[in-house]
Copies of this chain bind each other. A is one copy, B any other.
């Protein structure tokens, strides 16, 4: 399996604190030794850092940790390989273009019977179930919406319906972003938290690190962090339900089906 980390914010924000917690799980406090990757959007462009080596001792992960890249939309992943060997082409996140925008995706879980998915002209490069599912989603989106629609909430509802299909094939927890929106889809393991004023302190579960967000933010900042498992032990995280999706835009919930589910928080 794997772990996911995402962020949506209304001002360019660095993710160093959360990323420091996540990468400990890549071989130190967790078994996800088979590569890691992170995508930071800046406008319509993006930067990707990836490594098939464990994040806990990756020199490139150290750079990302120590060099604060600020972004309004981030997607990250650490991998414990099941389908597909440990290699750069099998390392998440994956990024492809539709409608003149780069879409980035990362998956936690495992699928069976995915080989038959028709991915159209989006051909997988690696061998993972995850990339195959990504290519299928893009192909479905592009067939259904040859042009980008005005109403993006309709698109995300469509994507969630397609994710329901993937959930029939196994465990499918997902992050999906075009740099404006960050979408989450849950089968069994996905949590999020929105931080806003009044900001407090937070302590990482996986590393001896505490941050006082009051010192790091302005009163108007809104920052949502999404993770497979909560990263801090003194905050309340929303636990997502099976089949629930949530789309964040500038840190706020933009579209969701969460009314259909009983809401739980965990700390």
A-to-B contact residues, CB < 8 Å: 42-52, 59-60, 63, 67, 87-91, 96-102, 121-126, 142
Contacts and interface: CB of A to CB of B under 8 A. Distances in A.
Main secondary structure, interface of A, reads mixed
A44 B125 contact: yes
6 contacts: A43-B87, A44-B88, A44-B125, A45-B52, A47-B49, A48-B48
A102 B142 CA distance: 20
Contacts of A51: 47
Given A45-B89, A100-B124, 14 more contacts: A42-B52, A42-B87, A43-B87, A43-B88, A43-B89, A44-B87, A44-B88, A44-B89, A45-B125, A47-B51, A59-B67, A96-B97, A97-B125, A100-B125
Contacts of A47: 48-51, 88
In the complex this chain forms, how many copies of it are found? 2
Contact of A125 (B60, B63, B102): B102
A61 to B, nearest CB: 12
A78 B50 CA distance: 22
A231 B98 CA distance: 38
Contact of A45 (B45, B88, B121): B88
A40 to B, nearest CB: 9
Contacts of A48: 47-48
A122 to B, nearest CB: 7
A91 B63 CA distance: 21
